[in-house]
Structures are given as structure tokens and as C-alpha cells.
Structure 1
Amino acid sequence: MRRSMSALVLAGALALTATACGGSGTSGSTNSGGTANVKVGLITKTDTNPYFVKLREAAKAEAAKKGADLIALAGKFDGDNEGQVTAIENLVSQGVKGILITPNSSTGILSAIKQARDAGVVVIALDTATDPANAVDATFATDNKQAGVFQGKWVKGTLGSKTPKLLMLDGTPGGTVDDFRHNGFLEGMGIAAGSSEIAGMENTNGDQTKAQTAMENLLQRVPDANAVYTINEPAAAGGFQAISAAGKTKQITMASIDGSCTGVQNVKAGKIGATVMQFPAKMAQLGVDAVVKFAQDGTKPSGFNDTGAQLITDQPVTGLDSKDTAWGLQNCWG
């Protein structure tokens, strides 16, 4: 019954979203590239996180530019695999040529992806890879492990000779992106998993409110912490609220990953020491273009396509490439 109700809810959302996000009749009817009435499906992890809002907006704009129709759906929350499975089924029934997906579960979504591909739909992962990666036709994403390495190297360089006493605001347990960033950060710091230098860890699901509560709890247990890893900028914002309330802003070095305009502003204001910028609009644009290309001549995209990452900080570390917040504010998203 739960699955059936989910299908009904998402089917209704599908009809509404298709109306809101489809390319205009004018662009579709006059396009000379043969893309009129090409339907492109987009499934994001949620429809509330600013990162995925930007990705959806960019996909919508690119679809309109190409004269295609975008049908955008999302999980109800970060980790909602069942909702994404139902969304894939709905999109296939709507006759999409391709599906762009940021999978909530890199393994739990595989059966639904296979069914879509067996039906002749090209499937492209955005932002988050599937496991195995070849379960989709192609992936357009940040190298999240490398982004974590950048974050870790900056924190390590900023701490200098201090011995790390690290707190980690993680995302969702078992998430592919979460694991890559977590492990990359530790690699950048030169810290082994299980090291005594890791003083505490809490899961936040990348949510600001949960992150604030998690940081409050961690600081009660580890009042002398001097470094904080954050899975994303909402987690960093929540962490900062707790750190500030505890009067420990000068004691703790914190960095993040995302590159939203709000996040870059927080770096400029000194709330976050650094952030690693991603380029979700580029992922969306490349994904839409690939589906349109497939619709035109049958050419399928393939492999992992790195869309880049850039460290943003006003406190550069020697030997580590970075851009300042002025550059960041010119290139941020959201």
C-alpha cells in the first residue's frame, strides 16, 4: 500500500512538474535540430536542497534552449530510494528518451535503472555515481574524493603544527558521495580511519538543523576540538551556529564542500574557513545535451566525466591551489 500511495503522489507531481518545466511550445515547434517533443527526465535526491534546486533550474533552462521538455521529480528526502524508484517507473511510462538522476542509493536504485535501460532509455547519473558505475550509461559529476582531499589539505595546512582534534559532521550513512568526501578528507589530512585524532563523528543527512544539534553534542563531549569536517555547506552553517554559541570560533578550523553563493558568503564572513566549489549547472547542462544528442542520432554518452572542483578561501595555504571569495562570488551557484 505504501508503494501504491507513493506512485499516486508522484504521478500527480509528474503531471504538475511536466507543465512547469517543459520547454515552450514555440521553441519546440521551431527547433531545427529534431528535438521537438523530446522528453528528458530529471530525478534529484530532494527538491529543497539549494544544490539540487540549482541543478534542476539549469536542466530546465538547457532543455528549453534545446527545444526539449524536462520532467523533473525528486525524492521526498535525502535517502528516499523508494521514491526515486517510483519516479523512474513514471518517467519510463511517460516516454522519456533519457533520465538524469542523482541517486539516493547507489545500489538500491540499480534494478529500476536496468529496467529503464532495457526499455531503451539512456540513463545518466549526475553528481552521485552508481555502484557499479557502469550501471548507467555515463556519469557527470564532481570527483568527490578529490574534493574531500582539497578540504582536508586546507584544514591540515591551516592547523600547521597543531595536532588535530577532529570532529566530523558526516552526511547519510552508506551514501556514495558521503563516503568519498569523508575518506578524501582524511586522506588530505593524512589521518587514518580509526585514528585517535578523530575525536567524534555524527551523521547530519546534510541538514543544517541536524548539524547544529550534532555539533552541540560533539562539543559537549570534546570541548577542546580544533578542526571540523563538514559534508556540505548546510551542515557547515549548522555547525557554525553551535560553535559560535559555544564561543569557540577562534579555536576551531572548519571547511566544507558545495560552492553555493550562500556558502561563499559564509567563507567571506569567516563563518567557514574554506569551501570546495562544485558546478551543478555544468552537470545538468551536459546531461541534457547528452540526452538530446541520443534522441537525434542514437549516440550514447559513456564513462565518468569530471565536472571539476575549486577550493575557495581567503586564507590560502602554500602549495594548494585556491581562488578567493571575489572569484567565488562571480562563479557560485544558487
Structure 2
Amino acid sequence: MRHTKLMFAALAAVTVTAALAQSSQPVIGLITKTDTNPFFVKMKEGAQKEATRLGAKLLTAAGKTDGDNAGQVAAIENMVAAGAKTIMITASDSKAIVPAIAKARAAGVMVIALDTPTEPASAVDALFATDNYNAGLLIGQWAKKAMGNKKAVIAAMDYNPGQPVGVLRHNGFLAGFGVKGITPTMLTQVDTSVVCSQNSFGDQAKGQTAMENCLQKNPDINLVYTINEPAAAGAYQALKAAGKEKDVLIVSVDGGCAGVRNVEAGVIGATSQQYPLKMAAMGVTAGVNYAKTGKKVSGYTDTGVNLITNKPVSGVKSQDGKYGLANCWGQ
């Protein structure tokens, strides 16, 4: 009888210990702009892999479409209510999301921006992201060399107007191409070298429509800057339909597997590769550390960028498509 009581006591102790361990499991949230864009799919993959490795519980959510601020606000509120102590977010609207972030931080939640800075940057505890201005700078420098003495007639497949990622990449491209007076944060998205600027919202179908509009405006376009590779793919389809795909150089940013394959196929001349898996994994690691120690991360961490092209030019460091495929959105 005494042995039986001891056995039950031991089982109860194990149950209590397991319950305590479960209750102390770090809960971390990840909110992306959408759950369909391959970039964010990879980000989610990186977060889940790191959360599993570190024994954390990952909550995920996304806007219905890119630009769905209300959906992201609701996701923040739901995650705070579910006990998340760290929330990572790629903000669809860098300004409108700030009040919701402030409420979460006031409740003791550490908030980390991934990929997209908030406005102001101090609205979050930390930012893990590509240097988007540098990403644009690299493709601009490459395009300048690749065009040689040919006069550039530029079309820009831009992003949601005024959003930091779009502004930084666009302005970096122009600065890299040699346009004078460009600064990282200036809101100008056109200049005398750009004959057409359209908002593609980073979407392939909208990128195709945007390129069609630009070709109607100026059929002599010979260089196309695109905010990302889905927009680049859309622009290429429009150029191909017009019989101009061999006469126009396309540059982009992202470095996803599909995008690098388009570099290999000659659809995209060069792209700047970034690493969303790394951003998310670093965010989860920081979240688990915060749960254990109460220490928050702060400031900006550059998660790296590499120019990917099979047509290297002098003076611009790059990696080839083979490297790009081996590292697409990973590292």
C-alpha cells in the first residue's frame, strides 16, 4: 500500500513538472504581410525550425493581402491575448501599425520588425533586415556597368507608395546607377532618368499590368527596375508579349529560388539576394532569450545581401546563379 502511494506521488510530481514546463514554454508570434508570398513562406519556415529547435511555441498570422493593416493589428492583439512575449512583424503599413505595437510593448511584449522598418524605427525594440538601400545600390551599380554607353530609358516597378522598403530599394537603385542627389529616405520615386514609375505592390499580375502601362507610355524603355522578383516576372511577361524581352534589361531584389532561376534563364539580369530565413531565426532566438533572461535586443541588425548574376561586371562584387540557388533565402 505504501509502495502504491509512493508511485502515485511520483506520477503526480512528474505531471506537475510537465505542466510547469509547458506553462513556461516561450510563446513567440510571427506576423507577415501575406502568407502566400514565397518570401514570407520562407520566413515562416525559418521561424518554425528555430522555434522547434529551441522548444518555443510559434504563433503565426498574416494580412489577407499586402497592405492589410487591420488584419495585422488584430493579429497583434490576438497574440498578446494568447501569451506571446515576443512578436516579430513585417509591417504592411509602417506608420499605421505603430499604435498597436505600442500597446503590445506597454504590456511587456518585445516587438521585433523583420525586413521592413517601422516609422519611426524606434516604435519597435529591434529590426532584423536586409540593408534595402544597399540592395538597390548593388543592382543599380551593376545595371550602370551592364548598360555601358547605351542611354538608359528606365521604368520602375515600385511598391506600395511611401513604404520604406520600396523607397529604400528604389532610391538605392537610382544612386547606384549614378543619379545625383539621391538619399536613402527621400520620398521621391521618380527622376529625369525614369520615364515611367508604376506601383506593382510586389505582385506578378500587377507587375505585368504596370509594365504594360509603361510600354504604352514609352515603348523605348530598355531598363526595368523592379521592387522584387514576382514584379520582375510580371514585367517580363509584358515585355515578351510586346516582343521586347530581348531588348530590355531587368534588375530586381529578393534572391528567392524562383528569382534566381530567372537569373539563370536570362529573364533577370541581376538580383540582390536577401535572407528571410535568417531574419526569422534570429528573431526567435532573441525571443527565447528574452523569455529566459528578460533581456531585450535593440537596434538594427543587418542580415546581409549578395548580388546574384551570371554576367559579372568589374567593380561590383557578385555571386553566380549556382551560389544563389544554393543559398536562396536561406543562410
TM-score in same-fold range (> 0.5): yes
Query: How has the CA–CA distance of structure 1 residues 154 and 31 changed in structure 2, closer, same or farther, with 3 Å as cutoff?
Result: farther
**RMSD after superposition:** 1.8
Deviates more, 1:46-55 or 1:148-157: 148-157
Distance 2:154 2:300 in 1: 32
- State how 1:96-111 maps to structure 2 within 5 Å: 96-111=84-99
Aligned to 1:251: 247
The whole-number CA distance in structure 1 between the counterparts of 2:51 and 2:19 is: 14
Aligned to 1:186: 174
- Match of 1:198? 194
Q: Is the 8 A contact 1:138 1:303 kept in 2?
A: yes
Over 3 Å counting, the alpha-carbon distance change for 1:132 and 1:257 in structure 2 is same
Note if 1:327 corresponds to 2:320: no
**Corresponding residue of 2:293:** 297
1:12 is matched with which residue? none
Alignment-derived partner of residue 272 in structure 2: 276
Q: Counterpart of 1:177?
A: 165
For the 8 Å contact 1:35–1:66, the answer to whether it is kept is no
Between 1:220-229 and 1:301-310, the stretch displaced more is: 220-229
* Distance in 1 separating the partners of 2:18 and 2:275: 31
> Which residue in the other structure is 1:213 paired with?
209
Q: Give the Å deviation of 1:195.
A: 3.3
1:41 to 11, 29, 39: 29
Task: Supply the AA of the counterpart residue of 1:206.
Answer: G
8 Å contact kept, 1:35–1:292: no
1:75 aligns with 2:71: no
2:156 corresponds to which letter in structure 1?
M
Which residue is 1:133 aligned to?
121
Contact 1:35 1:295 in 2 (8 A): no
Secondary structure, in 3 states, of the residue corresponding to 2:296?
Answer: coil
How far off its partner does 1:333 sit? 3.1
| In the alignment, structure 1 residue 228 sits paired with structure 2 residue 224 | yes
Relative to structure 2, which stretch is displaced further, 45-54 or 248-257? 248-257
The yes-or-no answer on 1:151 pairing with 2:147 is no
User: How far has the Cα of 1:217 moved from its partner?
Assistant: 1.6
Q: Which amino acid aligns with 1:259?
A: G
- How big is the shift at 1:253? 0.9
Out of 143, 156, 168, the residue aligned to residue 168 of structure 1 is 156
1:61 partnered with 2:56: no
Q: CA deviation at 1:267?
A: 0.2
- Runs of 4+, deviation exceeding 4 Å: 28-32
What's 2:7 paired with?
A: none
Q: Which structure's CA Rg is the greater one?
A: 2
Q: 1:186 to 1:142 in 2, by over 3 A?
A: same
**Matches of 2:321 and 2:292 in 1, distance apart?**
41
How far the C-alpha of 1:249 sits from its partner, in A, is 2.0
**Cα–Cα, structure 1 residues 90 and 152, in superposed 2: closer, same or farther, change >3 Å?**
same
CA distance in 1, matches of 2:201, 2:234: 12
Q: What is the rounded CA distance, in whole Å, between the counterparts of 1:292 and 1:238 in structure 2?
A: 40
For 2:191 and 2:126, locate their aligned partners in 1 and report how far apart those are by CA, in whole Å: 36
Change in Cα spacing, 1:29 to 1:332, as seen in structure 2 (3 Å) is farther
Give the structure-1-normalised TM-score. Answer: 0.88
Q: Percent identity?
A: 54
Letter in 2 for 1:150: L
**Number of residues paired by the alignment?**
306
Letter in 2 for 1:298: G
**TM-score after normalising by structure 2:** 0.89
Alignment partner of 2:104 out of 98, 116, 123:
116
1:274 & 1:305 partners in 2: Cα distance?
25
Structure 2 spans left out of the alignment, 5+ residues: 1-16, 181-187
| Cα distance in structure 1, aligned partners of 2:133 and 2:23 | 36
Q: CA offsets, 1:255-294, max 9 Å, x none?
A: 1000111100000000010111000000000000000000
Distance 2:231 2:143 in 1: 16
Shift of 1:196: 2.6
Contact persistence 1:147–1:276 (CA under 8 A) = yes
In 1: Cα distance, 2:285 partner to 2:217 partner: 50
Partner letter of residue 291 of structure 1?
G
Deviation at 1:164, TM superposition (A): 1.1
CA distance in structure 1 between the aligned counterparts of 2:274 and 2:145, rounded to whole angstroms? 21
For the residue of structure 1 that corresponds to 2:286, the secondary structure is: helix
Cα distance between partner residues in 1 of 2:108 and 2:217? 54
In structure 2, relative to structure 1, the CA distance for the partners of 1:29 and 1:261 (3 Å cut) is farther
Structure 1 residues 247 and 300: alpha-carbon distance in aligned structure 2, compared to 1, 3 A threshold: same
The structure 2 residue matched to 1:142, chosen from 105, 111, 130, is: 130
Indicate the residue corresponding to 1:242 in structure 2. 238
1:149 aligned partner, one-letter code:
L
Please name the residue that 1:314 is paired with: 310
